[in-house]
């Protein structure tokens, strides 16, 4: 016998607006059970999907092809959204050069939906944004259709929490939050997600609470990463190893959650989202001091890593203007090709102003734009190690598996800066070695 949820949603069609890192896995997840229209303004992405070629690591071509034309229909034609019962928006929410929210993609997507809006449809925003976006920005645009929110059509916010590339916490087993315009909408939206996601889904009392939950989660990360980054510099100068402190503090079973220092923060979320809250808080006369400070510290970290490298090179007797440096890892986190806002880019830019040659090796990233110029990555680790100095910036699993210490010992490298505590110092011989935050003088 069919479950209550299956009965309620039999024949349901889902629309996903924006099939990127968030939208494509979401579309595939719903395609397990429902007809899904995947709408995107990027014709390049839609053409790729129509050919069965995925551009997101978490969605394989085989998985895409399993649903394509059966339950998943990619399109650039917004008219196809007319038949959807639920439309989920997963478009970017960037900041501009002054770190102010750029709601352009959300506004444009909402205008598109307003143009095709049908009685009975439920519109759900998944993009990360400040509290008030759905009701203050989206609702008036949608009501221009002549339909009324909460009467003719329905609104909800359900933030996306996926961590692309994370094999353990996936879209299927990560708990979700839902806040709707009224209780019935919240329940309906909760049911539709629950029908494809095994993790619990928590309903909150309204849309603003759901919006605030997501922004709080990302502010929490930005602030805690900044805290550990700052302490890594202070402890370093006190002769204390932050990595050992973190291991020790992590034995406390309650009240402590380890965050780790590094080259800084990157990606589409942590360096960006907190400023959405700053902007909204300013509107009501508040200054978000934690957010501003965290941003300042995290943005400083690539400069700090560059200083460590230059210091190590000088201690190794190298002349900066005649030296070459390779950065290992340029994505914003391990095991992904995503370089959006990666702090390694800033690190390479800092280095390029001070040394003769900057290069990088990242098995996931063949090329990169540095100082508005394309930089081709070294084709192999051996080529990257044919440098005077290396900086380990991103702890890709592969770097831990290839015996880097031995490779370094056999190379002509004279200085090593390990920003993620990846190497076993005892196995590095006759080379100036510095681990960020290890408390050792070089
Ligand atoms: N990537 C992550 O790890 C992650 C995790 C959680 C939440 N989020 C949030 O999810 C949202 C989407 O992020 P993403 O990483 O998927 O971005 P993305 O750039 O990978 O994908 C967004 C897609 O939206 C499309 N698009 C832009 N404007 C559009 C419009 N008007 N109509 C239709 N399509 C449009 C783009 O072409 C693109 O394909 C952001 O708010 C982000 O903060 C991202």
For residues 145-160, give the mean pLDDT.
Answer: 98
CA distance 75 to 50: 8
Ligand 1 centroid, distance to 44 Cα (angstroms): 15
Model confidence at 32, in pLDDT bands (50, 70, 90)?
very high
Q: Which residues are catalytic?
A: 269
Q: Determine the atom of ligand 1 nearest the C-alpha atom of 159.
A: 7
Q: Are strands 154-157 and 122-125 parallel, antiparallel or unpaired?
A: parallel
Report how far apart, in Å, the C-alpha atoms of 82 and of each of 50, 85, 112, 117, 314 are: 20, 8, 11, 7, 64
Whole-angstrom distance, CA of residue 182 vs CA of residue 215: 21
Each domain of the chain, given as residue ranges in start order, spans 4-205, 213-442
Q: Which atom of ligand 1 is nearest to the CA of 109?
A: 31
Residue pLDDT, tens place only, 263-280:
999 998 999 999 999 999
What pTM was computed for the model?
Answer: 0.93
The pLDDT tens digits for 376-435 are 999 999 999 999 999 999 999 999 999 999 999 999 999 999 999 999 999 999 999 999
**CATH code of the region 213-442:** 3.40.50.720
> What phi-psi label fits residue 424: left (phi over 0), alpha (psi between -120 and 50 degrees) or beta?
beta
Q: How confident is the model at residue 2 (pLDDT cuts 50, 70, 90)?
A: very low
Q: Does domain 4-205 have CATH number 1.10.10.10?
A: no
Tell me how far the alpha carbon of residue 268 lies from the centroid of ligand 1, in angstroms: 9
Asked if the domains 4-205 and 213-442 are classified in one and the same CATH topology, the answer is: yes
Instruction: Give, to the nearest 10 degrees, the angle between helix 207-238 and helix 242-249.
Output: 130
Cα dihedral 78→197→157→129 (10° resolution):
-90
Q: Which residue has the tokens 């390479």?
A: 348
Q: Hunting for tokens 């996306």 — which residue is that?
A: 160
């Amino acid at each position: 016998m069919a479950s209550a949820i299956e009965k309620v949603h039999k024949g349901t069609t889902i629309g996903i607006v924006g099939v990127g890192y968030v939208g494509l896995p979401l579309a595939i997840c719903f395609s397990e059970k429902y007809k899904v229209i995947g709408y995107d303004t990027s014709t390049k992405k839609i053409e790729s999907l129509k050919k069965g070629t995925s551009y997101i690591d978490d969605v394989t071509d085989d998985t895409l092809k399993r649903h394509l034309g059966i339950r998943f229909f990619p399109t650039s034609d917004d008219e196809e959204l007319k038949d959807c019962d639920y439309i989920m928006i997963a478009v970017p929410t960037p900041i501009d050069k002054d770190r102010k929210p750029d709601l352009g993609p959300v506004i444009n997507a909402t205008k598109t939906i307003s143009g095709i809006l049908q009685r009975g449809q439920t519109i759900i925003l998944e993009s990360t944004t400040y509290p008030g976006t759905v009701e203050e920005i989206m609702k008036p645009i949608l009501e221009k259709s002549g339909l009324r929110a909460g009467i003719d059509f329905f609104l909800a916010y359900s933030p996306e929490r996926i961590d692309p590339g994370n094999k353990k916490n996936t879209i299927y087993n990560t708990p979700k939050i839902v806040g709707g315009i009224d209780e019935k909408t919240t329940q309906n939206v909760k049911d539709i997600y629950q029908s494809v996601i095994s993790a619990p889904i928590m309903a909150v009392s309204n849309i603003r609470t759901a919006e605030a939950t997501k922004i709080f989660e990302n502010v929490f990360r930005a602030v805690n990463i900044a805290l550990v980054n700052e302490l890594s510099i202070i402890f370093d100068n006190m002769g204390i190893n932050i990595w050992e402190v973190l291991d020790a503090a992590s034995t406390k079973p309650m009240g402590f959650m380890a965050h780790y220092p590094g080259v800084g923060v990157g990606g589409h979320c942590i360096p960006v989202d907190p400023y959405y809250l700053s902007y909204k808080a300013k509107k009501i006369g508040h200054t978000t001091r934690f957010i501003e400070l965290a941003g300042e510290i995290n943005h400083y970290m690539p400069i700090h890593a560059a200083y460590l490298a230059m210091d190590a090179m000088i201690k190794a007797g190298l002349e900066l203007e005649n030296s070459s440096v390779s950065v290992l890892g340029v994505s914003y986190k391990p095991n992904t090709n995503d370089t959006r806002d990666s702090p390694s880019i800033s690190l390479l830019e800092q280095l390029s102003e001070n040394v003769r040659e900057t290069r990088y090796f990242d098995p996931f990233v063949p090329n990169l734009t540095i100082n508005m110029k394309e930089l081709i990555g070294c084709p192999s680790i051996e080529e990257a190690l044919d440098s005077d100095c290396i900086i380990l910036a991103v702890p890709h699993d592969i770097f831990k598996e290839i015996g880097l210490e031995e490779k370094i010992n056999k190379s002509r490298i004279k200085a090593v800066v390990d920003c993620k505590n990846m190497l076993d110092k005892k196995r590095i011989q006759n080379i100036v070695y510095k681990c960020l935050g290890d408390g050792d003088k070089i």
